[in-house]
Amino acid sequence: MNYSYRYRLTPTEDQRETLDYHRDTCRQLYNHALYRFNQIPEDEGTVKQRVRTIRDELPDLKDWWDALADIYSKVLQPTVMRIAKNINALGKLKEQGYKVGELRWKSPREFRSFTYNQSGFELDKKGGQTVLSLSKLADIPIEFHRPLPDDATVKEVTLKKEKTGEWFAIFGIERDTEPPAKPSLEEIDAEEVVGIDVGIRKYAHDTDGTAVESLELSEDRNRLEREQRKLSRKAYESTNWENQRQRVAEYHLDIKRKRRDLLHKLSNYYAREYDLVAVEDLDVKGMLESPRNSRNTASAAWNTFTDMLEYKCEREGTHFVEVDPDGTTKECAQCGVETEKPLWVREHSCPACGFEADRDANAAWNILSRGLTKLGVGHSEGTPVETALPAGTTPVPAKRVLEAGSPTLSERVSASRVG
């Protein structure tokens, strides 16, 4: 399996200038390659074949483009091949219903990374500190805060400059060991399966009775808005404008890091603690097009959470299933009767069987039930939906997840038989 490990670089001022020089040279090469790509007729091959034709022209380019000689060859080749990757990414967005255009030339602010592919990089110890030795560039100090896995093979290293001016090294690794085998569905205990309902007020509410509250980012957003107003009053591209732009970027990055930290820890927990995880297959794009609550929907990053959860379940040998979200809130987890619920109604009370539960807890049990059905487990006396419905909810603040690294209390809330 392939993974990415990210580390902060601490280059000197001279090394920063060299990094920027390499980055900008790669940007110019990318723009040139895109110009050449648009000149090649579509009937002369697939996208990848046409891009490879341009890549094969690199030796001739070096004869008149002196700056290319300063860049390692295994950096120039991936730069050209990025065109094929970007076109494929646009194609996937188009399949999902997004309106996409054509690739455009990159400005200096838009092109922020370049990659050493297969060779030209090495971790070393020099002067009592760990450095990343890069061919034709420099030996850059790196904050190696966690070791790479023993069975990892480093395939590539990407150098990326954030909008804040910070540099990071992203190691693309391949692990030789296979992920653990998933347990047989028939052998999974009722306590080892979980359904998760995501929302705005409570980010995640699961069938074990645990509700993780959403991050409280109102102060961070207010601070960001104040800094953005200050930026709008600066003369464009002046020194003061650039300094303020960097401050705005730092606040943006701070919010992003807090959000991703929560999502990583939450997805890690569910992937490691359970043998089967069921979630909703939400149409976030459609939700964002709605004028109601679109800002909070975008901030929740539900697709990012489910993507993280999916690959971590694969890594841990956990079954992962996405289900149709339609009606999970309305349907009674006890008897299946649907009841209309406005958004402000936070409790489920079934008029048919009398079952009462938190609105999100009821939805979580429906998600789990649909997940089991989709995997072909079916319903029996041993399935958790019929034998154990939630008896209560344990709210857990997001701050606890961020600080302690765990979204639950030391002991999970036990489920009890209802009815």
Q: Residue 364 — pLDDT band, cuts 50, 70, 90?
A: confident
Q: Does 418 reside within a domain?
A: no
Per-residue CA distances from 71 to 21, 64, 350 (Å): 10, 14, 68
> Which one of 146, 175, 204 terminates a domain?
175
Q: Is residue 417 part of a domain?
A: no
Range of the domain at 226: 185-404
Q: pLDDT value at position 35?
A: 95
Q: Is 41 helix (H, G, I), strand (E, B) or coil?
A: coil
Confidence (pLDDT) at 214:
81
- Does residue 412 fall inside a structural domain? no
- How do 202-206 and 210-213 pair as beta strands? antiparallel
* Burial readout 260-277 (b: 16 or more C-beta within 10 A, e: otherwise): eebbbbbbbbbbebbbbb
Of 155, 175, 195, the position where a domain reaches its end is 175
Q: Is 74 inside a domain boundary? A: yes
Residue 238 and residue 166 share a domain: no
Among the candidates 175, 194, 229, a domain finishes at 175
Confidence band, pLDDT 50/70/90 cuts, at residue 98: confident
Q: In DSSP terms, which residues pair with 349 in a beta bridge?
A: 356
141 pLDDT higher than 60: yes
Instruction: Give φ, ψ of 169 to 5 degrees.
Output: -110, 125
Look at residue 324 and tell me if it is in a domain: yes
Q: What is the mean pLDDT of residues 188-215?
A: 84
pLDDT band at 340 (very low <50, low <70, confident <90, very high): confident
Question: Residue 392: what pLDDT?
Answer: 59
pLDDT over 50 at 416, yes or no = no
% helix / strand / coil in the chain, to the nearest 5? 45, 20, 35
State phi, psi for 413 to the nearest 5 degrees.
Answer: -75, 125
358 and 304 in one domain?
Answer: yes
Statement to judge: residues 119 and 77 lie in one domain: yes
Cα separation, 18 vs 23, in Å, equals 9
Do 41 and 63 fall within a single domain? Answer: yes
Same domain, 221 and 320: yes
Token reading at 362:
């009821």
Which pLDDT score is estimated for 271? Answer: 92
Sign for the pseudo-dihedral over CA of 236, 240, 241, 242: positive
pLDDT tens-digit readout, 279-334: 888 766 655 555 565 555 565 677 888 889 998 999 889 999 988 888 787 888 77
Please state the domain count of the chain.
2
Are residues 301 and 390 part of one domain?
Answer: yes
Structure tokens at 34: 């895109």
Q: Which residues contact 263 (CB under 8 A, 6 or more apart)?
A: 301, 304, 305, 308
pLDDT at 393 over 80: no
Distance CA 405, CA 403 (A): 6
d(CA 164, CA 112): 11
The answer on 279 and 136 residing in a single domain is: no
Question: Among 200, 205, 318, which residue's Cα sits nearest to residue 266?
Answer: 205
At position 379, the amino acid (one-letter code) is H
Asked if the model's pLDDT at residue 77 lies above 90, the reply is yes
**What is the rounded CA–CA span in Å between residue 204 and residue 308?**
14
Average pLDDT, the chain: 83
Q: What does the pLDDT average to over 31-59? A: 92
pLDDT on residue 382: 41
Quick one: tokens of 383? 């399935």
* Burial class of residue 183 (count of CB atoms within 10 Å of its CB; 0-12, 13-18, 19+): middle
Indicate whether 279 and 364 sit together in one domain.
Answer: yes
Q: Are residues 204 and 260 in the same domain?
A: yes
Q: So what's the pLDDT on residue 126? A: 86
User: Which has the minimum average pLDDT: 42-56, 124-138, 182-196?
Assistant: 182-196
Work out the average pLDDT over 338-354: 74
Do 332 and 239 fall within a single domain?
yes
The verdict on residue 32 lying in a domain is yes
Tell me, yes or no, whether 308 and 400 share the same domain. yes
Average pLDDT over residues 41-58: 91
Q: Is residue 38 part of a domain?
A: yes
Regarding whether 233 and 204 lie in a shared domain, the answer is yes
416 located within any domain: no
Tokens read off for 240: 């003061």
380, 346, 386, 382: which is closest to 363 by C-alpha? 346
Is the pLDDT assigned to residue 348 strictly greater than 90? no
* pLDDT value of position 338: 74
